[in-house]
Structure 1
Amino acid sequence: MARSNLSLPLLAALLGVACLSLMDAFMKGASLAVGAYSAALLRAVIGAGIMLPVWAVAGLRRPPPKAMKLHAERGVVSCFMALTFFYALTKLPIAETIAISFVAPLIALYLARILLGEEIRPTAIWGSVLGFCGTIVIVWGRLGRSDLDQDALLGLGAITVSALLYAYNFIVIRRQSVLAGPAEIAFFHSFVTAVILGAVAPLFFVNPDATVLSHTGAAAALTVAGSMAIAWAYARAEAQYLVPMEYSGFLWASLFGWVFFREAPAPATILGTALIVAGCLIAARRKRPEQTMV
């Protein structure tokens, strides 16, 4: 297998995480207004509408059965992952919600070993453990200064379920990326979610106002951009190199949480972020460029 430069895949993954973190901020506002279900459905419908012409320009083709199966699998996983995550955002601050979700990349590293057969380097293990320790510091600081009321417990439960689904989602992305292009992946990601959520729309959908529509529209565009960037990256590098980039999401979440909701990070949050960034750098590090082939 040819040697590969990791710089572009790492940057693409970082850009994808930034887009998705900004999307979270827009979706928190929309979810608070009309509920997580309605906001998630609107995002999926708009996202599919954006991606259909993009996919057509990229070379519309009928996916082979194996790819279609993965598109459907990821759509189902992503549907419930998004619902639980957006619900958690209505109960917890953005930065803390994303911090807790960082357990997903840690789990994904080992799922990649079990399900994809990827060899995990010691630096990737230690970097992920350090990033996870940073997450624990953040969560501990949050719980230490906040009462655990019913809303907080519901939010913690929802983000735990979302994180487990997110970990498996990484594995499906890796499999998808070797069978389909980013445009196709991004379209079916939104389309399958829209179909699943739309099935119960008569029971749960809340009509949005102009502000909610604009927020979900921006969220849909950011989801498409982030998904395509991450799909492009995962097609060119192993999961163990890219997964640690997810930890940078906390930095973006802290920024967007402050800008949109005035959610200032606590001292424990700052310390945990430092550990997370250090973990990212360690996990992405290689001994020499020529020693690693993907």
Structure 2
Amino acid sequence: MHPLKGILLKLVAVSCFIVMSSLIKASTPHVPAGEAVFFRSFCSLPIIVGWLAARGDLSTGMRVANPMAHVWRGFIGTTSMGCGFAALAFLPLPEVTALGYTMPLLVVVFAAMFLGEKVGIFRIGAVVLGLCGVMVVLEPRVTTLGGDMVEITQAAGALLVLFGATCGALAQVHIRNMVKTEQTSAIVFWFSITATAMSLLTIPFGWVMPTPFEATALICAGLVGGVGQIFLTSSYRFADASLVAPFDYASMLFALLIGYFAFGEVPTAQMLIGAAIIIAAGVIILIRERQLGLQRAKAQQSKTP
């Protein structure tokens, strides 16, 4: 284990994903979300295939034990990605990032519902705290539903982020089941394949010819997203998941900086307060998950052979 290396890799991965979102945001005023999903997924394939080949995992990455599990993971994952990309056209980058932090909160809920995981009062309290933070961020959008078209589209953008986070949480819970029969390399590879194929189904809903700038941004988004996926996966090879997971929240700092300097977005105090509450809840859950993981490990070690 090399904890510092794992943390650095995770920070690079997080920065890659924020840059990817920024590139998508630069094109979304004209390019539909489904088309953006296609570029993100298709252009990341050469990066992922090259990485698997370099590791000697290409044959493993193509091997599938349960095809329908990959189809289902592709459907809900692609839906999550599409909703997130669509929301970038309506909301500031930091706000989309903050509302996206709802995902780990919902994972706790869905894991209890669908996997039968026991959730104690500690994590329930953290989820409630996080949802309060979500309401703080959402409040300006909800109270302006009767306003002009800009305010209505911003409210729709917020709902898209939350729906995308819900789908993303379902995907993560589904992956917890998939890893029992599927290799990580196969999950990564086939998600890019299924997301690319499923994004093509949105062609009838109005794809456009991107401008040279938009095409460049979309292609770079796919490449950067593929690189980010590699760094993310690699970070967990050098450090425990419980150690590197909290560094997901560094994305808020990156989002604030890029949002301000690239798009002129100045976050409100209310949005920052809500984001801080959501992040605090997420960190509490991560700390508790780490404690439970250590307890499970001790219990496992104490079992009679």
TM-score category (smaller protein): 0.7 to 0.9
TM-score scaled by structure 1? 0.79
In the other structure, the counterpart of 1:47 is 44
Cα distance, 1:28 vs. partner?
Answer: 0.9
Cα distance, 1:229 vs. partner?
Answer: 5.1
In the other structure, the counterpart of 1:267 is 269
Please identify, of 143-152 and 210-219, the stretch whose mean Cα deviation from structure 2 is larger.
143-152
The answer as to whether partners of 2:130 and 2:277 remain within 8 angstroms in 1 is: yes
Please identify, of 182-191 and 89-98, the stretch whose mean Cα deviation from structure 2 is larger.
182-191
State whether structure 2 residue 248 is matched by structure 1 residue 250: no
Alignment of 1:203-214 (within 5 A): 204-214=206-216
The answer as to whether partners of 1:112 and 1:171 remain within 8 angstroms in 2 is: yes
In the other structure, the counterpart of 1:168 is 170
The answer as to whether partners of 1:71 and 1:188 remain within 8 angstroms in 2 is: yes
Total equivalences in the alignment: 289
In the other structure, the counterpart of 1:106 is 105
State whether structure 2 residue 278 is matched by structure 1 residue 291: no
Alignment of 1:55-70 (within 5 A): 55-58=52-55, 59-61=57-59, 62-66=62-66, 68-70=67-69
The one-character-per-residue Cα deviations of 1:116-165 (angstroms, maximum 9, x if unpaired) are: 34343544333333333223222225556894633224323423332221
Please identify, of 81-90 and 157-166, the stretch whose mean Cα deviation from structure 2 is larger.
157-166
TM-score scaled by structure 2? 0.77
Match of 2:191 among 166, 189, 192: 189
The one-character-per-residue Cα deviations of 1:68-92 (angstroms, maximum 9, x if unpaired) are: 3332221111222222221111112
Rg comparison, structure with higher value:
2
SS of 2:54's partner is helix
SS of 2:30's partner is helix
Cα distance, 1:289 vs. partner?
Answer: 8.4
SS of 2:89's partner is helix
Cα distance, 1:16 vs. partner?
Answer: 4.3
Unaligned runs of 5+ in 1: none
Alignment of 1:75-224 (within 5 A): 75-120=74-119, 122-141=121-140, 147=147, 149=149, 150-201=152-203, 204-224=206-226
State percent identity of aligned pairs.
23
The whole-number CA distance in structure 2 between the counterparts of 1:243 and 1:111 is 19
**Are the structure 2 counterparts of residues 242 and 179 from structure 1 closer, same or farther at C-alpha, using a change threshold of 3 Å?**
farther
Unaligned runs of 5+ in 2: 301-305
Residue type at the aligned position of 1:197: S
Cα distance, 1:245 vs. partner?
Answer: 6.2
